[in-house]
Structure 1
């Protein structure tokens, strides 16, 4: 390994990502924030990921392209195809002292093999529950096979980090590894805060000051629970519970959702200060997804002082305190979701109290403090691999 590595500034990290910046989502934004933190501490980082002509945002740090192909039926995403000779030469020349893989794809498998041959420590970070996606495409029977493939991948790594304790517990139960710890997520409190609420912006969508807005935030894809969301809205409508719906985000299922929920306000994709304004202008966030490992949107809503009604699933269970800062409902329980939302719609004092509790909880999530734990994990793994250890 050469010199003894004891400081973050001595780290040379090769990061492998299936999507670093070509489509914006919570996972790749977390990776870019991590790289920014590491570079500010003096570490050297090279990122190996698919590249496209018009990415969603500028990559943080040095990005090396790897071969990839568009995923059928989800062409906005790309599937890494392995390590090209050029990428392998670049990796050899960079000579990392730690490898970080962020998705169990073909390229990451190759990179893990490369690192193991050289005794380089490997950290894997888990960002989404890939095995659950098949449920939304009629292929749920493949879930055990996917779990087995992922188990083999993660057990070849030296350690695994998950974004929430609830997700870490799932990984332990699935026997994905023996060294599993937490790399949480942070929230930018300059962007996400109650003061960003904007009545004029709400009114531009036909939403009055006294209307109670149920919000959805995220990419508009079926695996985010859009069917559960829309079925719940139907139940509220049938019960004549007054409310307005605000959808923030975009994606391939937008047309489906527009047809499914006529009269809904669609704000489209928002980012930065515009996103903070959009979230703060909601009254309650409804997050029915069971595929999250952390739930960035849940934390952002909490920071804006909103109560959150969420599926009792990985991620949200580690953020929302049931009946304190929101409600955790059994996944898919349409009637229970509707009743929880109805309570918030009809009880503004409870809505305000639970929103304030969520905002208080969100103050614990500082990005630099959280990313420092990853850097400390790198150093621990390097130390454990040291021949002098």
Structure 2
């Protein structure tokens, strides 16, 4: 794409907050800006007093949060007026890119349709798995999301269920409706592209990996590489949001079962108190260290001084922490078969299943055989530059170009805003 474009990114995560979605979004935003494109981000407010830059438009949120801690932004008339005023003041907007499927993502779809702007939708949330396995009330949660989303972005017809149970069918319907309302769909992995298509999405689907900011990688890699620890305890690292679907409590239980290892935990979230209690109750203060929320650069530096990433999540589509480990040459111990698409061959170990016992078995084997970790580092070195955002930004721009050049797609979900 030769000409500069103005991209409106809609996301349910403020850029100043921490998390995999946020780091991927910031990398995309900054990568586009370095190439001379303008990016305006529409998002909910950040917790506390985190500042917003001049190119961020904060949308009003309700005084409650979703079960995963996300602020709740509803596509109300007030939200619509705020977006339309920003479009008028900051426009023209060439393309809308929605990164989420909740309130802000819905608002992006509706704004694009109001203004006749092409819409690209990124899909990377495995809501069906997260709701079914980790919601305290799976059916009620899935039904509520389906009804609320369907009110704003209705979907005609009954999509194929691909053998899903009723909770999965309800959880998939908002995802399908959101994708069908877009002109182009982006997913980070081939396996998720197949799942999206199997559930009835007939929009053009493009597989484009998430990326890590090039300048950040170059800065962190300036230090001398850390060698595999051959003497003391195995140095394991866990990094992510302290929430049920990321399974930090399971990671601590794994560390309890493997005496010849230490575990450093980076992250914050709703399970922070339970994580602290689990460490104290198991008397693991000498082997498990909790570092709280840290920036992406600190997480990358920490990866250089550890032997293995303990990735206990079983519902990531790709996982930024996995890309970060790849870039830092840190071997990965994981359990989700679908992540094998991202983990380079011989660059990690997959546990037999998601159980704590399976993780502990593999971690004990790695503690006994440090040579295998050295071999994994060598395998990862060949792929260290693949997560760079510059390797993927042109693919994103190609999707934008297709959406800008293509005739308007017909059918699918329609965003009728009358009386809403």
* TM-score bracket relative to the smaller structure: 0.7 to 0.9
Match of 1:123 among 120, 124, 127: 120
Match of 1:3 in 2: none
Matched ranges for 1:255-334 at <5 A: 255-261=273-279, 262-263=284-285, 264-314=288-338, 316-321=339-344, 324-334=346-356
* Distance in 1 of aligned mates of 2:138 and 2:384: 34
User: Does the CA contact (< 8 Å) of 2:336 and 2:354 recur in 1?
Assistant: no
Check the 8 A contact 1:50/1:68 in 2, yes or no.
yes
State TM-score, norm by structure 2.
0.78
Q: Please show how residues 213-228 of structure 1 align to structure 2 within 5 Å.
A: 213-228=235-250
Matched, 1:90 2:113: no
**2:37 is equivalent to residue 43 of structure 1:** yes
Residues 231-271 of structure 1: per-residue CA shift (max 9 Å, x gap): 433443xxxx5111111222221221222233211122222
Indicate the RMSD between aligned Cα atoms, in angstroms: 2.8
Write out aligned runs for 1:57-206 (5 A): 62-72=55-65, 77-82=70-75, 83-93=79-89, 94-134=91-131, 135-141=133-139, 142=142, 143-187=168-212, 188-191=216-219, 193=221
In 1, distance between residues paired with 2:366 and 2:195?
Answer: 30
State the Cα distance separating 1:217 from its structure 2 match. 0.9
The CA deviation at 1:275 is: 2.5
Tell me, yes or no, if structure 1 residue 17 matches structure 2 residue 35: no
User: 2:52, 2:353 → 1: CA distance?
Assistant: 35
Q: Which moved more, 1:183-192 or 1:76-85?
A: 183-192
1:177 deviates by: 4.1
Post-superposition CA distance 1:62-104 (Å, at most 9, x none): 1112121254475853111122413222224523221111111
Contact 2:121/2:185 (8 A) holds in 1: yes
2:272 paired residue number: 254
Q: Which runs of 5+ in 1 are unaligned?
A: 1-5, 200-206
CA distance in 1 between partners of 2:374 and 2:273 (Å): 33
Alpha-carbon separation, structure 1, partners of 2:173 and 2:289? 42
| 1:242 equivalenced with 2:242 (yes/no) | no
The aligned length equals 367
TM-score (norm 1): 0.84
Would you say the 8 A contact 1:67–1:84 is kept in 2? no
Distance verdict in 2 for CA 1:61–1:208, change over 3 Å? farther
Q: Which consecutive unaligned segments of at least 5 residues does structure 2 have?
A: 143-167, 410-420
Shift of 1:273: 4.3
Corresponding residue number in structure 2 for 1:340: 362
CA distance in 1, matches of 2:63, 2:353: 31
Higher strand share: 1
